[in-house]
A = this chain, B = another copy of it.
């Protein structure tokens, strides 16, 4: 299941309801991504970042996330998949993204969950704009995210 929303979500309630009652499930792997404290993420002398805004491409986001879910289901024997991604203004400690995969086997649950977040980070059309006192700055994509996603491409 895919959800793209501005509203916050309750990770405890999501986990409690995820794959509930499906006795074919032996393992659930879940990843929760949060807005980390911006202190320390700013170069020396730059004004501290106070918040960020996540822009996205409505329609394409859902299409790409659905494609990523389909890829994961094609590669691993999954019982359930959940992706929730927020957009809009977020502050330190806020939840951004939740991905979860349930499978009969733990290895499949781990790998699928890891794949989902890695691919999401390079395929889903979201962009982070950081707000600081001196002005706003678009966050640049990290090479490490490309490498993380490529790792899965090589395995096919």
A17's nearest neighbour on chain B, judged by CB, is B12
The distance from the CB of A148 to the nearest CB of chain B, in whole angstroms, is 7
Give the number of times this chain occurs in the complex, counting copies. 2
Q: A15-B11, A107-B148 are in contact. Are A28 and B27 (CB under 8 A)?
A: no
Residue A54 CB within 8 A of the other chain:
no
Contact pattern, A 3-35, Cβ under 8 Å of B = 1, otherwise 0 = 000000011111110000101111111111111
The distance from the CB of A95 to the nearest CB of chain B, in whole angstroms, is 10
A residues contacting B by CB (< 8 A) are 10-16, 21, 23-37, 92-93, 104, 106-107, 109-110, 113-114, 117, 144, 148
Measured CA separation A25–B30 after assembly (Å): 15
Tell me which residues across on chain B come within 8 A of A12, comparing CB atoms: 11-16
Contact of A33 among B16, B31, B106, B148 (CB under 8 A): B106
